[in-house]
Amino acid sequence: MKGEWKLFSSLIYNDVQKAKEMNFRSLPIGDRYTVESYYLPITPSELDSAYSIENYCEYRGEVLECSFNGEKNEFGFDMRWVSKEICEKFGLAYEYERKVISRGIEDTGLVMRVPDSEIQDVWEIHKPIEGFPFKGPEKVWVKKDGVWLR
């Protein structure tokens, strides 16, 4: 494990006083995060479990990596990373050709959004971070059979 590890906390989701009580430090102005963010240097032994999260759902018979916008109550799929055949299935063949194949993968404009009501199952895949402890499970259901579990 190289470098220093840090936990980050943003005021959008967390209480400033709580961050200070836990000895989080303000990020310097000009950092890639906002001034209203805090960090705490950590070592692997200080954590019970550490993992990255990838979100997936099943949409019209396809498993897709997704994001959820609670304000709009919709799911988003970055279609640049799926096959041309899946894009064709969802009526995005022209956009796929124009944005991914012609211009290159750097184009960020190929996102498909669908209402929450069209998604039955959503899950997270927890991937252990090398050098840190991990307590499973690796697959965690978030929405199952149309019911939000959390």
> For the chain, which residues make up each domain, given as ranges?
5-42, 51-148
Question: What is the pLDDT tens value at each position of the chain, 150 positions in all?
Answer: 456 788 776 654 556 677 777 777 777 655 555 556 777 888 888 888 989 999 999 999 999 999 998 888 889 888 877 888 888 898 887 676 666 666 555 555 678 889 999 999 999 999 998 888 999 899 999 999 999 998
pTM above 0.75, yes or no: no
Separation of alpha carbons 124 and 137, rounded Å: 10
Chain-centre distance for alpha carbon 143: 16
Residue 86 identity (one-letter amino acid): I
Q: How many Cβ atoms from other residues are within 10 Å of residue 129's Cβ?
A: 16
What are the tokens at 103? Answer: 């211009």
Separation of alpha carbons 103 and 84, rounded Å: 15
